[in-house]
Amino acid sequence: MTDIAPSQLSDHALPGKRVLVREDFNVPLSDGAVASDARIEAALPTIRTCIEGGAAVILVSHLGRPTEGDFDPEQSLAPVADHLSRALDIPVPLVRDWRGGVDVAPGGVVLLENVRFEPGEAANDDGLARALASLCDLFVMDAFATAHRAHASTHGVAKFAPAVCAGPLMAAELDALGRALEAPQRPLVAIVGGAKVSTKLELLESLAGIADRIIVGGGIANTFVLAAGNPVGASLVEPSLAETAMRIAKRVDVPLPVDVMTAPAIDANVPAVLRRPGEVGERDMILDIGPGTARAWRDGLAEAGTIIWNGPLGVFEFDQFGEGTRLIAEGVAEAEAFSIAGGGDTIAAIDKYGVREGISYISTGGGAFLEFVERGTLPAVEILKTRAR
């Protein structure tokens, strides 16, 4: 990472300025209405700051994965515009044809139609980026969850806008990640769960260089268990990456489970059976860490100075395979360490076990969170830093 920090919204005078804010309104819809407004609620403080500062506010976001160039009414941001109008208590028109300019007065807000309808968005087309930049005096990148994508509305526009900065949501993410990665309180414990080592190989390799301990769970743990010479039965595992797991384990402390919960199938009606690692049968699937392992790892978290968490420890959607994730979640929440968690399944587990208040920072990004931990930066962050030089 460079030492240059992005400019922030508080560094800029807002009265009379046209401010283009990239937010993440990729929200679930149901029957033409917003089904979960968590991402909208998270963006409201930034939008209100711009309104109260006297800016003319233009919001831009994507929704879903429509085909570029084709308007799809089911992926229109119209329900988001309606929701914002109620939340802000002012009209928030949806503007579909914005290339000729946008009519918005200081103190007002408009929302551009789904930017992924625009040809060139995913390709980071300079023409689209310049068109977006022409709408504003200041571009505010506030959508951390999309910052790992070098798209026209997240990266390209920042090359051409008169001035650029990180929004409060973005700045908070960068502050939290910087605290966890750049100068962490020791010991630094990383918790990494998930189905496959291959999907998080870069993450594990990166963490092996900075963490004092990596706790692995899910299918990822099975590969480490196999690499240590233990049977894994019919469990999800990647034998071809066993040597990689061994290499990582030589660089950093990766504790192996002393007991596991198994079953012949992933089913809500199938009971979990406790096994020692060496006792896993050919038809057994390892679906959770065992209680002895969970308690030991939970107790160890009390000594951590920093905790980074991404991924559950087992198939927590079924309660009989969720005790490992529950105990670890409680351990993270109870620890005095600075803790940061990210990823959809991780947040689902946090909410299932009611430990949200105990986590120091919950990242809004899934892929962005992972990529930042892996590489120390993101495309949208780098362009903001470049413009700050």
Instruction: Give the whole-angstrom CA distance, residue 155 versus residue 164.
Output: 11
- Cis? peptide before 187, omega within 30° of 0: yes
Q: Which amino acid is at 173?
A: E
Which residues sit opposite 70 in a β-bridge?
Answer: none
Instruction: Give the whole-angstrom CA distance, residue 355 versus residue 335.
Output: 12
Q: Which two tokens stand for residue 380?
A: 């949208």
Which residues sit opposite 85 in a β-bridge?
Answer: none
Q: Which residues contact 238 (CB under 8 A, 6 or more apart)?
A: 196, 197, 198, 219, 223
The helix (H) or strand (E) run that includes residue 178 is helix 168-181
Could you say which DSSP state residue 311 is in? S
Is residue 101 within 8 A of residue 135, CB to CB? The reply is yes
The helix (H) or strand (E) run that includes residue 115 is none
The helix (H) or strand (E) run that includes residue 267 is none
In DSSP notation, 15-69 reads TT-EEEEE------EETTEES--HHHHHHHHHHHHHHHTT-EEEEE---S-PPTT
Q: Which amino acid is at 348?
A: A
Q: Which residues contact 200 (CB under 8 A, 6 or more apart)?
A: 192, 194, 220, 310, 311, 370
Q: Which amino acid is at 88?
A: L
Catalytic site positions = 39, 196, 344, 367
Q: Which two tokens stand for residue 229?
A: 């010479």
Instruction: Give the whole-angstrom CA distance, residue 384 versus residue 130.
Output: 16
